[in-house]
């Protein structure tokens, strides 16, 4: 897979979670990529979490930008 197609696929996964109300709550960087945890509170007041392993460096820049926007919004 090309570098750009990999980025677009990972970005789409992140954007999909954001559109469902998830926000980034934790990041663990390893040699195997970044493991990014997303969380949201459901209408039933339950906590739901999802985790993505992101390998593409451009995707790491993208989610870093989202984290920065989240922090500014608080």
For the segment 42-61, what is each residue's pLDDT rounded down to a tens digit? 889 999 999 999 999 999 99
Instruction: Let me know if residue 40 belongs to a domain.
Output: yes
pLDDT class of 63 with cuts at 50, 70, 90: very high
Query: Which pLDDT score, from 0 to 100, does residue 39 have?
Result: 97
Instruction: Let me know if residue 73 belongs to a domain.
Output: no
Residues 6 or more apart in contact with residue 31 via CB below 8 angstroms:
none
Query: Across 1-74, where does the E strand assignment appear?
Result: 23-30, 33-41, 47-54
Model-wide pTM > 0.85: yes
CATH number for position 30: 3.10.450
Burial of 22 (0-12, 13-18, 19+ CB in 10 A): middle
Structure token pair of residue 66: 């989202």
pLDDT class of 74 with cuts at 50, 70, 90: confident
The structural domain count of the chain equals 1
């Amino acid at each position: 897979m090309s570098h750009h197609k990999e980025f677009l696929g990972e970005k789409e996964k992140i954007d999909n979670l954001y559109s469902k109300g998830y926000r980034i709550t934790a990041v663990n960087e390893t040699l195997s990529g970044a493991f990014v945890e997303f969380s949201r509170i459901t209408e039933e007041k339950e906590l739901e979490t999802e985790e993505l392993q992101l390998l593409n460096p451009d995707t790491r820049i993208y989610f870093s930008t989202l984290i920065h926007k989240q922090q500014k919004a608080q």
